[in-house]
Structure 1
Amino acid sequence: MTTLGTATACPNEIATGRLSVGEARDGSDIGLPVAVINGADDGKTLYIQAVSDGDELNGLGVIQRLVPQLDPSEVSGRILVVGIVNYHGFHVAEHRNPIDDTKLNRAYPGDPNGMSTERIAHATFDTVTRADLALDLHQGSTSRMIDETRVRCGSRHRLHTECLELAKVFDCGYILDQKGPDGQLARTAPNEGVPTIDPELGGSVGWDHSSIERGLRGVYRVLKYYGFLDGSIDINPQTRANGFEQYGSPKGGLVTFYPGLGDRVESGDPLFDVTDPFGRVKSTVTADSTGVFWRTRRLPQVATGEYVCSLGTNLDEY
């Protein structure tokens, strides 16, 4: 028997329920939606979560499609799922938790007696530590971004090889292998012996169905490779970036990009023009390094110093 919150599943069963993380302002219980898939045969435990950032919905799109497709009679081991982690941010379509204005993916491992975000982080982290592997499904917020997977434990971490293998199995085609900020789940969970990755499934307002399909394919690849489902997969070479450069605008105006997402650029290549409302170029920004055009802002208007785009740099084929 496997339990997560109020969801309890015997072998060869699927159950859904709620994981309590506190109370709302009216005193009603706040419960995160959870699912337990308990396979017919014994095996590893996989943890999956989505919507750690309240406006990042593509991971939820993956879970919405994944759970109804899974037949526990064909599963070995257990799959623990938290469908919506940032409960408060999700309900108002905001990145941070509006109750305490905190980014949840900087709060791990959390605190059972802390602020709202810390309590949610603690409850979900406690579940992560029961797993053998973890997938924290994200996207590039509401900006535009390639599909990629992030390894955040750092190259000197004892589980770096295992995390990198998990990212390669997930296979978005691009990997950002760079130590993450304190409090990220993909940085913190490996300290507890759980290989964890942070798939970034594009970037959109609402759902991007092509990124959701890539994420769903990635989860199934993980399920097959690690023995949760029968089947085999091919491991493909991917582009790995060990650096990440962000570019702001030197002028205020309207942005026009030269490369498209995923394009290779060389040092000195133009990245974008900033024009006035009449199309006159005020400034052209060029790449400082060779890299992949990784992410851009969604809206064309920018103020001086405002974020515009990012490159993945220090590339190799892994």
Structure 2
Amino acid sequence: MSDERAFTYNGGKVEPGDVQNVRYGISETYLGDPIRIPVTIINGARDGPTVFLSAAAHGDELNGIEVVREVAFEWDLSDLAGTLICMPVLNVPGFLFQQRYLPIYDRDLNRSFPGREDSTSAKRMAHRIFANFIEPCDYGLDFHTSTRGRTNMIHVRADMARPDTARLAKAFGTNVVIDSEGPEGTLRREATDVGVPTITIEMGEAHRFERRLIDEALAGVESVFAEYGLRDTSAVRWPGWRTVITGDKEKTWIRADVGGIVDMHFDRGALVHAGDRICTITNPFKDDNTYVEAPFTGLLVGVLENPVVYPGNPLCHLVELGGPTLQVVEQEQSPEVEGRT
């Protein structure tokens, strides 16, 4: 095999046809012990793109961990054309404490990319990950969940103004794609900016494995592999309908105007029509109810799970639906229509 097809990183090399499991050092503890992230590198015997799969940039976001592990260790990748970089836990310190941010000064690893080797602890960690395992890739899939106390339907976030990123987002095959660059310092934005088109997959809630969402995400990964020829698999996935939420469509986080206890009337992924009562906020005596109505017709991409709020806390994430897509979704969710008020 040609050495040109070997995947190299600082400290190692993986030849075509080989698999390597690495615990890669990205920092040190207060005691001087190494902080290491698990990385599995599968270099296929056949030529093809180099793709990374990453999860748990926020340490309490677990669904993506199982997606990345199942691809790396349960799929038959003997026919792989290209190279897979599988990183199931990026934020090892946060994962160990089961918290979102790095315990070191409460930094957000997913606002620290591409990092810098002479900067803060978070940026040094981000630099080691980015330089060795992100920048050498051709494409990337970064798995996330909602933050604690909320939950998301599975959807993709991507910069749809970039054709290569739009192709990747559509290949994953979710019903909803939210178009945005992403904040500065996020893995997907910084990777995309250096020529590695990357999408974020949002799925479910923190602190748990949700099998149905994990299976949906695995189907999305398989679809991406089909699109880019990494495996001889089935055709690219078509989810039945798709809406891309761009700047000309309404989207909003609906927030509580009062404090209290929330009775949510719809689940994530539900269709609501303008004027539908999404939830009711009550006091402990249930004698002062505040009704929260949908300002426009759309999908509840994310909803509150922890049923208590202060004024200003988010209740749900609503994105607009209309036209033929709305008609398809209305037919699809018709058994749930009686749940509307």
Query: How many angstroms apart in 2 are the aligned matches of 1:62 and 1:7?
Result: 25
Aligned to 2:178: 176
User: Contact 2:113–2:123 at 8 Å: present in 1 too?
Assistant: yes
Query: How many angstroms apart in 2 are the aligned matches of 1:55 and 1:204?
Result: 6
Give the direction of change, closer, same or farther, for the CA distance of 1:162–1:75 in structure 2 (3 Å limit).
same
- Three-state SS of the structure 1 residue aligned to 2:204 is coil
User: Contact 1:7–1:18 at 8 Å: present in 2 too?
Assistant: no
Give the direction of change, closer, same or farther, for the CA distance of 1:5–1:141 in structure 2 (3 Å limit).
farther
Whether 2:168 is the aligned partner of 1:166: answer yes
More divergent stretch after superposition (66-75 vs 142-151): 66-75
Matches within 5 A, 1:123-142: 123-126=128-131, 127-142=133-148
Aligned to 1:264: 271
User: Contact 1:7–1:15 at 8 Å: present in 2 too?
Assistant: no
Give the direction of change, closer, same or farther, for the CA distance of 1:83–1:204 in structure 2 (3 Å limit).
closer
1:91 corresponds to which of 93, 96, 100: 96
Query: How many angstroms apart in 2 are the aligned matches of 1:130 and 1:165?
Result: 20
2:47 corresponds to which of 22, 42, 49: 42
More divergent stretch after superposition (273-282 vs 291-300): 273-282
User: Contact 1:104–1:121 at 8 Å: present in 2 too?
Assistant: yes
Q: CA deviation at 1:177?
A: 1.2
Matches within 5 A, 1:1-318: 1-4=6-9, 8-126=13-131, 127-142=133-148, 143-151=150-158, 153=159, 155=161, 160-236=162-238, 237-242=241-246, 243-313=250-320
Q: CA deviation at 1:315?
A: 6.2
Cα RMSD, aligned residues only: 1.9
CA displacement 1:216-275 (0-9 Å, x = unmatched): 121121112211101242442312223531122112211112333212223332221111
User: Contact 1:149–1:174 at 8 Å: present in 2 too?
Assistant: yes
Give the direction of change, closer, same or farther, for the CA distance of 1:150–1:315 in structure 2 (3 Å limit).
farther
Give the direction of change, closer, same or farther, for the CA distance of 1:314–1:185 in structure 2 (3 Å limit).
farther
- Three-state SS of the structure 1 residue aligned to 2:123 is helix
Amino acid across the alignment from 2:244: R
User: Contact 1:254–1:301 at 8 Å: present in 2 too?
Assistant: yes
Q: CA deviation at 1:8?
A: 4.0
Query: How many angstroms apart in 2 are the aligned matches of 1:135 and 1:292?
Result: 24
Amino acid across the alignment from 2:14: A
Structure 2: state its 5+ residue gaps.
1-5, 326-341
Amino acid across the alignment from 2:195: G
More divergent stretch after superposition (63-72 vs 104-113): 63-72
CA displacement 1:92-128 (0-9 Å, x = unmatched): 0111111021111111111111222111211222121
More divergent stretch after superposition (212-221 vs 28-37): 212-221
Using structure 2 for the length normalisation, give the TM-score. 0.86
Structure 1: state its 5+ residue gaps.
none
Q: CA deviation at 1:51?
A: 0.5
User: Contact 2:224–2:236 at 8 Å: present in 1 too?
Assistant: no
Q: CA deviation at 1:141?
A: 2.5
User: Contact 2:160–2:166 at 8 Å: present in 1 too?
Assistant: no
Would you say how many aligned residue pairs link Structure 1 and Structure 2? 312
Amino acid across the alignment from 2:202: E
Amino acid across the alignment from 1:88: P
More divergent stretch after superposition (7-16 vs 71-80): 7-16
Identity of aligned residues (%): 30
- Three-state SS of the structure 1 residue aligned to 2:289 is strand
Give the direction of change, closer, same or farther, for the CA distance of 1:182–1:241 in structure 2 (3 Å limit).
same
